[in-house]
Structure 1
Amino acid sequence: MSDDLTLHAHLVGRQGSRADLNTPVLVLDLEALDRNIAAMANLAREAGIGLRPHAKTHKSVDIAKRQIVAGALGVCCAKIGEAEALADGGVNGILITSPVAAPRAIERLASLAKRAKGLMATIDHSAVAERINVALAAEGATLDVIIDIDPGIARTGVASAEAAVALAQAIAALPNLTLRGVQFYCGSQQHIEAYAERRAAIIERTDYLKSVIAALADTGFSPEIVTGSGTGTHRIDLDLGVFTELQAGSYVFMDKQYLDCDLTGEGDGPFETALGVDARVVSANHSGLVTIDAGFKSLSTDGGIAVVRRGAPETAFFAFMGDEHSALISPDIGKQLAPGDPVTLTVPHCDPTVNLYDHYHVVEGDTLAAIWPVSARGRAR
């Protein structure tokens, strides 16, 4: 057996047990995680708005519950499968942020609406709203819904203020649906590294959002909820004051993509790096290169490359070398490290990296404190 619990359950609570973990392994610093959760919760509380963090980042019942205890209204989920996993784990107040449109998925949504307290879903098409209404009627359930507004990337969402009004009117005619507000997530702006450039982009998009809200209000559909934002733009969105709740997600972990961004305009980092992948050197036969046991199967590839956090020179260049391996390249690194030596990496993009693992190995210092399941791993449908 090679599953995480069989390999590592006996290490929980043993001093220094992180050093005995079989690698590659997804490691979560509990104290940094809790500080990140508290920091975002405090920002939202001080601004007087809600926080509904996006659980597509962590896919974890354990983390979602910590966020709610700290003050979150609930969490967001990207897909119905994620929402099912978290709701069945006891998480309330879930907003599904992607349209649920497939026939079987709509049936599952209606079923989930009966058992998940505070469930909401986004809608961007009247025909889908009608199908959801029929499924809800069959289940004897109702559902609060949010109109998704396209922020300009043509992925999901209504494409104009007029389309938003038309959809609001269609929803109002459906007895099992209650319109609660709008969603506006500017995903392509989140990773603009320069604060001033990112702020200018968000101001322009927020002006458009205001025009949609005004059109809805003028026709009797003033939104109670305006939900969106992300880790990259949360400070800007708090300052602009249009959102009633934030959907930021990656702040709990902080991957390389967000570490490369100036989140505050002051060059400081408001959140800590809590997530990492522990790996080990498996070959060191060249003076300027060592090979580690974490490759494409252990790290996402869509957000650049991983970086060394500890165990090797921080200036070492990371390069994928296939499914199972990567290289760390630095002068004389092959003389500094030997096979079996541990290395911790900061991941390029946390969301898809987490989805590669069954469990978080939660550490306090160098001790394994707990093993938490990635509850919604693979729940993409």
Structure 2
Amino acid sequence: MSEVAKSEAAKSEAAKSEAERLHRHLIGQQGSRRSLNTPALVLDLDMLDRNIAEMAAFAAAHNVKLRPHSKTHKSADIARRQIASGALGVCCAKLGEAEALADSGIESLHITSPVVTPQAIDRLIELNGKVSDLMVVVDHPANVEALAAAAGNAGKPLTVIVDIDPGMHRTGVASPDGVVELVRKVTQQKSLKYAGVQFYCGRHQHIVDFAERKAAIEERTEYLKGILAKLETAGLKPGIVTGSGTGTHYIDGKLGVFTELQVGSYIFMDHDYNVCDLRGLDRPTFEQALQIDARVVSANTPGLATVDAGLKAMATEKGPPPILKGAPDGSTTRFMGDEHLAVVPPEGQPAPAHGEQVILVPPHCDPTVNMYESYHVVKGDTLVDIWPVTARGRSR
């Protein structure tokens, strides 16, 4: 092999993800999941596909479109599966996510947070020139003017969605009259295309009790309907009304106000959503497709085992993870530092043995995914593929 060829081969090897280097040879081997280096982010492919199909069927039955939120998975592979199942495209929380997915061939993208700095607007306009279907939210007159100027110079109209504050005071126009004024301003810009409005009730998604969540969403929907009536009276009826999420999809779908749903976590699920009654049925609607494989690395203390998945292996703001498999029923966990987690079985039950696999439920799926570079895709106990987390770390 020539020196040039050796150099290119070395570069190719270095470009591979750690998961690719460690685990590519395991693909297709029966039982290969048990040979994964841990902690490993694992995705059950059959569960993922059933979750995608379940939400697609719900949307079709209620005559509403899906524009799933890619902030959950940050994956071009998963976005393609969602689009193949009928989704219009995907949402992105940040411009960087949209750029990463566009580079991987995803053409229909909606950026759900405002893009305001000159440098970011330049990138946005460049992206608008690359993809066939890009939308971005606005919630301030100055942002409308900046986007209009940049899009005008580029020569291709930029499609915008006016973001409405549902009461969270995070982003969005804060008053009904303000919404009408901002929409009117958008329509006055030749280089901008007014497509509709966004209304995302984020803090309502995780209300555990279904009846309480339903009442809260019905109240917020009345507020939204009042704004939509004002817009229609002003001759500014939106073609798109986008919002909702996994926690409220069932309620929003039946209320019939949204034209599309920005559902995200349904594909994976996590502990925070698993405790919510999503459809008032008192049983799970979606399956726990996203999992974290860990390994017992120390078991010297009676009634306790230590696994190799600590604070750096998952998002922690929702508390320690439940155990899906690998420990007696009723076992609990507690963090033991950056790299370690204690598994504590019920009194009188044995702790997992040294070297045993323990499978954990992510407490919060979105930020957990952002900690990993790859999904280990499995069917049963067999590794079938490795997918990159395409937009990992793309938060700018």
- Give the TM-score band, short-chain normalised: over 0.9
For residues 134 and 339 of structure 1, what CA distance do their matches in structure 2 show? 63
Equivalence map 1:256-267=2 (5 Å): 256-267=271-282
Alignment equivalent of 2:34, drawn from 5, 19, 34: 19
2:231 counterpart of 1:234: no
1:173-198 Cα shifts (integer Å, max 9, x gaps): 11111111100000000000000000
SS at match of 1:119: strand
* Aligned match of 2:331: 316
2:159 counterpart of 1:115: no
What is the Cα deviation at residue 117 of structure 1?
A: 1.3
2:377 counterpart of 1:362: yes
What is the Cα deviation at residue 7 of structure 1?
A: 0.5
What is the Cα deviation at residue 92 of structure 1?
A: 2.0
For residues 351 and 203 of structure 2, what CA distance do their matches in structure 1 show? 41
Alignment equivalent of 2:263, drawn from 237, 244, 248: 248
Deviates more, 1:215-224 or 1:135-144: 135-144
For residues 102 and 113 of structure 1, what CA distance do their matches in structure 2 show? 16
Contact 1:237 1:243 in 2 (8 A): yes
2:220 counterpart of 1:220: no
Letter in 1 for 2:48: L
For residues 113 and 294 of structure 2, what CA distance do their matches in structure 1 show? 34
Structure-2-length-normalised TM-score: 0.94
Contact 1:289 1:333 in 2 (8 A): no
Contact 1:290 1:334 in 2 (8 A): no
SS at match of 2:129: helix
* Aligned match of 1:140: 155
1:140-197 Cα shifts (integer Å, max 9, x gaps): 2211110000010100000011110110111111111111110000000000000000
Alignment equivalent of 1:158, drawn from 157, 173, 192: 173
SS at match of 2:181: helix
* Aligned match of 1:170: 185
Which structure 2 segments of 5+ residues have no match?
1-13
1:111-147 Cα shifts (integer Å, max 9, x gaps): 1001111111111011111111111122222111100
* Aligned match of 1:210: 225
* Aligned match of 1:130: 145
What is the Cα deviation at residue 378 of structure 1?
A: 0.3
| Runs of 4+ that moved beyond 6 A | none
For residues 191 and 288 of structure 1, what CA distance do their matches in structure 2 show? 34
* Aligned match of 2:48: 33
What is the Cα deviation at residue 336 of structure 1?
A: 4.1
For residues 162 and 331 of structure 1, what CA distance do their matches in structure 2 show? 58
For residues 90 and 379 of structure 1, what CA distance do their matches in structure 2 show? 16
Letter in 2 for 1:186: C
For residues 209 and 313 of structure 1, what CA distance do their matches in structure 2 show? 48
1:36-57 Cα shifts (integer Å, max 9, x gaps): 0011011101111110000000
Alignment equivalent of 1:52, drawn from 55, 67, 86: 67
Alignment equivalent of 2:85, drawn from 47, 70, 79: 70
Structure-1-length-normalised TM-score: 0.98
Which structure 1 segments of 5+ residues have no match?
none
Letter in 2 for 1:288: G
Letter in 2 for 1:34: D
What is the Cα deviation at residue 332 of structure 1?
A: 6.1
* Aligned match of 1:101: 116
* Aligned match of 2:9: none
* Aligned match of 1:276: 291
For residues 320 and 95 of structure 1, what CA distance do their matches in structure 2 show? 37
For residues 349 and 388 of structure 2, what CA distance do their matches in structure 1 show? 35
For residues 182 and 314 of structure 1, what CA distance do their matches in structure 2 show? 46
What is the Cα deviation at residue 334 of structure 1?
A: 8.5
* Aligned match of 2:3: none
2:30 counterpart of 1:9: no
Contact 1:182 1:225 in 2 (8 A): yes
Alignment equivalent of 2:311, drawn from 296, 299, 303: 296
Aligned residue pair count: 381
For residues 168 and 214 of structure 1, what CA distance do their matches in structure 2 show? 13
Letter in 1 for 2:232: A
Contact 1:123 1:146 in 2 (8 A): yes
SS at match of 1:121: strand
Contact 1:145 1:181 in 2 (8 A): yes
Contact 1:287 1:334 in 2 (8 A): no
For residues 263 and 67 of structure 1, what CA distance do their matches in structure 2 show? 20
What is the Cα deviation at residue 333 of structure 1?
A: 8.1
2:73 counterpart of 1:42: no
For residues 331 and 18 of structure 1, what CA distance do their matches in structure 2 show? 27
Aligned-CA RMSD value: 1.2
Contact 1:54 1:247 in 2 (8 A): yes
Alignment equivalent of 2:389, drawn from 344, 358, 374: 374
For residues 348 and 144 of structure 2, what CA distance do their matches in structure 1 show? 59
